[in-house]
Amino acid sequence: MSQETELQPYREGLDELAEHYKQVLTLLGEDTEREGLLKTPMRVAKAMQVLTRGYHMDAHKVLTEALFKEDYSQMVIVKDINFFSLCEHHMLPFYGKAHVAYIPNGYITGLSKIARVVDIYAHRLQVQERMTQQIKDCIQETLKPLGVMVVVEAKHMCMQMRGIEKQNSITTTSDFSGAFNQAKTRQEFMNLIHNYQI
């Protein structure tokens, strides 16, 4: 068994998914029997299962697996979390960075777990707005902190490759709860993540 398979096992329905991609290639006008395309349907099927693995992962469980009691009540920030996702409208990639902050209320979680939460929600068909909210809601519901704030900045290939074809536009979304309803707290978070680039 290859390392890739061990790390990212493929799910049921892989053969059927590959058959559908073979039909898609035919409908696009390609010859699926030519050498360069013989293995393409299965490759795409495997890639799509990897890119949507978040449907079969529990982000709440990830946080609770590394939950520690700690009397720390200042802001915890994990910034510049790289992610790749697929927009649900065109199934084209959007990618960028997420910045997440929470103010503990008796419990903290492992820092890598915050990045894992972003990864889980990014590995689904998404819109950036909903993904931002899902990350915030997961942390708020699971850790029950004094507040959570999430900022996501991304470039969307559906804007770059098709439609309006704007190459340098960046979409920013944010969501927050609790203590971050105070403008001063939100501004502190924004100041702390200010110096970064996509």
Per the annotation, the verdict on 89 as an active-site residue is: yes
Side chain identity at residue 160, one-letter code: Q
Contact 80, 195 (CB under 8 A): no
Catalytic residue among 88, 141, 182, 187: 88
Query: Rounded to an integer, what distance in angstroms lies between the CA atom of residue 46 and that of residue 51?
Result: 9
pLDDT of residue 11: 86
Catalytic residue among 4, 20, 89, 182: 89
Catalytic residue among 126, 128, 134, 140: 128
pTM of the predicted model, to two decimals?
Answer: 0.90
Q: Give the DSSP letter string of 41-92.
A: HHHHHHHHHHHTGGGG--HHHHHHTTEEE----S-EEEEEEEEEEEETTT--
Report the run of H or E that residue 156 belongs to, with start and end.
Answer: strand 147-156
Per the annotation, the verdict on 167 as an active-site residue is: no
Side chain identity at residue 168, one-letter code: N
Q: Which residues pair with 86 in a beta bridge?
A: 93, 125
Contact 154, 95 (CB under 8 A): yes
Query: Rounded to an integer, what distance in angstroms lies between the CA atom of residue 198 and that of residue 168?
Result: 11
Catalytic residue among 30, 60, 133, 158: 158
Per the annotation, the verdict on 88 as an active-site residue is: yes
pLDDT of residue 8: 55
Query: Rounded to an integer, what distance in angstroms lies between the CA atom of residue 91 and that of residue 60?
Result: 26
State the 10-residue block means of pLDDT for the chain, 198 residues long. Answer: 52 94 98 97 97 96 95 96 97 97 97 98 98 98 98 93 80 97 95 69
pLDDT of residue 174: 97
Please tell me the number of Cα atoms within 13 Å of 115 on its side-chain side.
Answer: 10
Cα separations in angstroms, 144 against 66, 103, 150: 14, 9, 15
Q: Which residues contact 124 (CB under 8 A, 6 or more apart)?
A: 52, 54, 55, 85, 86
pLDDT of residue 195: 64
